[in-house]
Chain A
């Protein structure tokens, strides 16, 4: 199976990115590199660029695929991905820009004066970016699988090579315009096919998606099996087979009896109209009512739905703060106030985008039950146009979504690769551009190899795990570092270690197959629900117990974080004027602002000679 239009679209997107990459600025992590900040990128452009970098394989393919497979509750991922920007807006956007830290390791060292903490944060940056890169590679694998009919590893290798080459040659760095364009490309590439398929193409009544009846093929449908699968057939059906079924090669009609059958990789099976769609063995498809309930269903289990849903919400809601490749982009804002407006626009742009994956999930359940049969629900966005619309329209729409999907993988993985190589080269190895390139090649190789191993995990679940680690490590560090004056480096270090370490361990355990059902499955598969409170508690408790380890000049650092631009000096540690204390009686201080009503009294007159204080 090969789709020439889709191939052309993917090649065009890749070539355009490679050309821009080759002509891009050289990578150098010096302050001059960040002179882009002086360009006064307007908030709307910057917001488009951040959204362009943020919308990854998870948003473009994963949300729709998981919602089709595990029910509408999977849309909570999308809600959390967007709502995370509200948290980012209200807690870190303006203070981080004002502080002048553009990576989390920078913030950790600048705020808490601890090079050790910087290294710990760097390790976590690598872990989070690594987890986030895997689903991008999986997305590329299945995209090329559908477009070219190539094996899964080809797409993974192509994306790995293109992104590594691009990062090594210095592209995609600070190219705000390109990332901004990527957002609008992705929005068009998902919105246009979704609306055409919803309005313009005949499909079954939307209400039947939540009917309890088993899913049936509305027309005679050919189902391709890119990977070997075992399927369960409920009632005997006559099908046309090309390839090996139950170990025997077939070319023509075959009667599949009720029970389990194994289908070899590369086989295709044509089901007649009206036949009930078989499903993967052990993965009973959800009935209509379960499918349309607003709970996250972890794969293969129907218990503790509320806990699983809240786990996903906590991870995605609090995780967006700690995504290294996104925070770097905030540095191109003019100032703290512009950072706020940018974040608000990102929230609006993401909200627009996330209206469309739900349409694909719904239409996929109605029109493409074959994806349940072949276990390829993750590719519903890519496959649906070809399945639902006939002829040229299907090919055209298919090419558009393939281009959008590849844009998603390219922009996000480039941003991630730069972040992780930069963190390794700059923060851990303290090397220059040469080290950066060596790190990029190493990281590219390692993640490409790891990407081959994750074909069986839903894209969205993998990304959810990256968010869970970020939420239980960097979220407490940033929130407490910005809003709490008594945080010490020791407290932050213990919190990072407990939250990040234990949530990573839980996720690795889930990937290895520990905890199949009940509470172990929920607590290990959605670690944010316990790891976030744990990390916050540890940071606060240890900080209160280690007051002697407070960093120097906490006040100066808080001033740097919070003062509005109109009244601030640029932050330089240790060079503030140490003015003589002009002590005022407490009753002469300006009005207390503990409550939400904001009232100041007039500024009190100074004492002519302040009495000496002995503190």
Chain B
């Protein structure tokens, strides 16, 4: 997190304009809570530390879900290469590959997604609490 040019303000007319369209409910929520965000928008060391804390926690959450996902996906082809019997195994006449790829792999994927959403929302809740605990 470096080199932010100390909050230089560029007000040239040719600067790209960006409009964020918010839903009414979201806009009300933002309007209610902006005073708490003062520390963040100040370009000081404390604000940077806060932002770094948030992004690192979120990145850790991301890696904590994508790591296991990558293992989950790559495990079957890797194991089947090492143990050829796994590649052609059948359970009750139905190929193992069909049971895994045709259905079995999806519930863990959805579970990982659910876990990520909960974890990410918790991180954000705690971050918000921290800012509002004055």
Tell me the A residues contacting B by CB distance below 8 Å. 31, 34-35, 37-40, 72-73, 75-76, 78-80, 82-83, 85-87, 89-91, 94, 100-101, 109-110, 205-207, 209-210, 289, 292-295, 305-306, 309-310, 313, 317, 334-335, 337, 340-341, 343-344, 347-348, 351, 354-355, 358-359, 362, 483, 485-486, 547, 550, 552-556, 558-559, 562-584, 586, 589-596, 598, 600, 602-603, 610, 615
Q: Given A310-B77, A568-B37, does the pair A82, B106 have CB atoms closer than 8 Å?
A: yes
A358 closest partner in B (C-beta): B102
Q: Is the CB of B20 within 8 A of A100?
A: yes
Q: Is the CB of A90 within 8 A of B49?
A: no
Contact of A596 among B40, B46, B64 (CB under 8 A): B64
Complex Cα–Cα for A555 and B108 (A): 36
- What is the total of A-B residue contacts with beta carbons within 8 Å? 305
Can you list 22 A-B pairs, Cβ within 8 angstroms, ordered by A?
A72-B98, A79-B105, A89-B117, A100-B21, A294-B80, A358-B102, A483-B62, A485-B1, A553-B4, A555-B51, A566-B124, A568-B34, A573-B18, A574-B8, A574-B10, A575-B11, A577-B42, A579-B42, A581-B42, A584-B44, A589-B45, A600-B130
Contact of A570 among B20, B29, B112, B114 (CB under 8 A): B20
Question: Binding site of B, secondary structure by majority: helix, strand, loop or mixed?
Answer: helix
- Chain A residues contacting B59 (CB-CB under 8 Å) are 483
Distance of B90 from chain A, by nearest CB (Å): 6
- Chain B residues contacting A89 (CB-CB under 8 Å) are 113, 116-117
Q: Is the CB of A590 within 8 A of B130?
A: yes
- Chain A residues contacting B69 (CB-CB under 8 Å) are 83, 86-87
* Given A564-B127, A589-B45, 4 extra CB contacts under 8 A: A86-B65, A294-B77, A351-B110, A554-B2
Complex Cα–Cα for A578 and B107 (A): 48
Distance of B115 from chain A, by nearest CB (Å): 10
- Chain A residues contacting B123 (CB-CB under 8 Å) are 598
Q: Is the CB of A579 within 8 A of B18?
A: no
A610 closest partner in B (C-beta): B44
Complex Cα–Cα for A447 and B46 (A): 53
Distance of B40 from chain A, by nearest CB (Å): 6
Q: Is the CB of A562 within 8 A of B21?
A: no
Q: How many residues of B contact A (CB 8 A)?
A: 101
Q: Given A31-B19, A86-B69, A568-B30, does the pair A575, B120 have CB atoms closer than 8 Å?
A: no
- Chain A residues contacting B126 (CB-CB under 8 Å) are 598, 600
Complex Cα–Cα for A83 and B1 (A): 31
Distance of A302 from chain B, by nearest CB (Å): 13
Complex Cα–Cα for A554 and B43 (A): 11
Distance of B109 from chain A, by nearest CB (Å): 6
Q: Is the CB of B48 within 8 A of A555?
A: yes
